[in-house]
Amino acid sequence: MRRLFLLLMMFCTLPAWADNLDDLFAVAGWPEQRAHFNDALTAAQERYRNNLPPAVYQALVNNSSQRFAADAMDRRAKAQMRKHLPNPNPALAFFQSPLGRKIVAAELLATRRDQLAKYAQGLPRIEASATRQLLINHLSNALPAREAGAEVTLAIAGVAADSLSSMIPGLLGSGQSQSMLNGQRQRLMEQIAGELDNTLLFVYRDLSDPELEEFATFAESTDGRSYYQAALAAIRAGLAVGQSTSSLTQ
């Protein structure tokens, strides 16, 4: 009887948890960011069009469509979020707040196709007071921006290599390709770190100092760290950098 009661309790609570995770994904802007990523991917494919043989280019498009299908990306990302974030409610409450919505709006604006094109040559330098610079420094240490940025860049760049490997198996040995990938990841994180404070100053330029402080306080809290660690795991799972398209479970 006790086992039956526990099973009934699980069936009663798991759907509510799943709804909360779906709500967190929605209010934190994950679907829009995925769409922005696919915009960037499409732009990268167009750049490859004139530089690759037609068969390789078509393989690139086909592999990209399979690897980065919206449902598959969301499924992989949510599975990791579920694994690493036992309780989504604190993060959900934060991103549902007026400040949380303002933060998400700023992040979505920064990754829009037109904004990426506008600042393709680099962001303007942002002057900031010592107080604001300190707050941004707290954020840059708390947010996994270096790691996430490296994963996105590697995902977009990796589709061509994946397509070549699918047409010429064994082109790169697994040990060699993994070593190259780790080296590229580290170099990208170092490049991002060099501009991270200015990037965050630009992205969150419409937040007041008190709002930045509240944001940093959340990001550095136990609940904030739990969310951003789970978010990074979800990004890595969704993008599946370093995994062949054929190995992904659809």
pLDDT digits (tens, 9 = 90+) for 134-166: 999 999 999 999 999 999 988 887 766 665 555
**What is the band of 176 on the pLDDT scale with cuts at 50, 70, 90?**
very low
Q: Does residue 16 belong to any structural domain of this protein?
A: no
Q: Could you tell me the pTM of the whole model?
A: 0.84
Q: Does residue 18 belong to any structural domain of this protein?
A: no
- What range does the domain containing 130 cover? 24-242
Q: Does residue 8 belong to any structural domain of this protein?
A: no
Q: Does residue 104 belong to any structural domain of this protein?
A: yes
Q: Quickly tell me which residue has 């590697």 as its tokens.
A: 154
CA-wise closest residue to 83 among 228, 219, 234, 235: 234
Q: Does residue 2 belong to any structural domain of this protein?
A: no
Total number of domains constituting the chain: 1
Q: Does residue 72 belong to any structural domain of this protein?
A: yes
Q: Are the C-beta atoms of 77 and 30 separated by less than 8 Å?
A: yes
Q: Does residue 13 belong to any structural domain of this protein?
A: no
Q: Does residue 29 belong to any structural domain of this protein?
A: yes
- State percent of the chain over pLDDT 90: 58
**What is the band of 6 on the pLDDT scale with cuts at 50, 70, 90?**
very low
